[in-house]
Each structure stands twice: as C-alpha cells, then as structure tokens.
Amino acid sequence: MKRFTTCAAASLAFAFPANATAQDSAADPDHLEELQRCQIISDDGARLACFDAAVGGMVAASEAGEVQVVKKEEVEQTRRGLFGFTMPKIGFLGGDGEEMKLLQSTITGVRSIRRGYILTIEEGSVWQLSGVPSRLRPPKVGDDVEFKKAALGSYFVRINGQIGVKGTRIQ
C-alpha cells in the first residue's frame, strides 16, 4: 500500500506542477481566458496588440513551467497506465464523468505463483490473478488480456477470451 501511495503521489506531482503553483498565487492570470477576450475585439490593431500580450504571457508561463499543453493521445496513455488505481476526479484523469471501466492490452510478462499468476502488461502495470481455475490455459507473453472493473476494487480479467478470473493491480 505504501508503494501505491508513493507512486500515486509522484504521478500527481509530476502531472500537475502548474496546478499547485497557480493555486498558490491568486494573482496568476488565466492565459486561455486572456486569449478568448482578445477574440471579441473588433479593431484589428487593438486585437493584434491584445493577442501579442496574451501570447507573450502564455509563452512566459510555459517557459516557467506554469502551463503545459498536453496532447489528447498523451492523456489517454496516462489514463491507460493508471487504470486499476483509484484516482481523484481531476479534469482530464476522469473528473469529466467518463471513467474507464475496461482496459484491453497485451501481456508482456508472466510469473506463476501459488494458485495464480502475476501479469505485466504493455502499459507497465502489474496485476495479480488469484484463485485461477485449473481449466484456464496458462497465460503467455503476447496474449491479449481484458480488465473489466468489478466490485470492491477488484477486476474481472479475461485472457484470450477464456473465462474471467478475479484480479487486482499490485503495481
């Protein structure tokens, strides 16, 4: 549990350095809001001057590490990597109401344990399958795997379309 807390705290600190800085100083301007205000100015010269000032502020904030532009693909990759952890409802990590309930991936590592397996998937997360029935074919590197959210923090794990087994994310 301590490792999870440390990883989650480090992930959040890395993902949101600008957020903490912006909250500390209430005088920080909202750079996007400044750009939007410039759009409604009808005089060309005044609008250009407004955009120059707003963009200058945005560039300075970006260079200072206060603002960071993130591509949608990077956000999706981060969400996939954090699947299985309970995260706060923060904007692009799922605070917008759309929570990931299913993750499809590929197995990159398998380790056998007593009555189960430890799986590593291509996103880098590590999962433990417990109470695996004997009729389940052993998972192999390269197999497709599907994780579906279940009750009480566990997940329903299906490997290559076989019967599902209970699993939990351990790293």
Over range 145-162, report the average pLDDT.
Answer: 85
- For residue 138, pLDDT over 50 is answered with yes
pLDDT at 17: 43
pLDDT in tens, 81-133: 666 555 555 565 555 555 667 888 899 999 999 888 999 999 888 989 988 88
Phi, psi of 57 (to 5 degrees): -65, -40
Higher pLDDT, 168 or 26: 168
Task: Look at residue 84 in the predicted model and tell me its pLDDT.
Answer: 59
| pLDDT at site 76 | 72
Token couple for 111: 């380790």
The pLDDT value recorded for residue 142 is 93
User: Which pLDDT score is estimated for 22?
Assistant: 39
Hunting for tokens 């004997």 — which residue is that? 134
- The full set of domain ranges for the chain reads 2-69, 102-169
Residue 151, pLDDT > 70, answer: yes
pLDDT attached to residue 144:
93
Cα angle value 145/100/108 (rounded, 5°): 25
pLDDT band at 143 (very low <50, low <70, confident <90, very high): very high
| pLDDT reported for residue 24 | 39
C-alpha distances in Å from residue 163, one per residue of 100, 132, 133, 145, 156 = 21, 10, 9, 11, 10
pLDDT 10s digits, 10-44: 343 444 444 443 343 334 558 788 888 888 888 98
Q: Is 113 helix (H, G, I), strand (E, B) or coil?
A: strand
Cβ atoms 70, 32 nearer than 8 A: no
End-to-end CA distance of the chain: 10
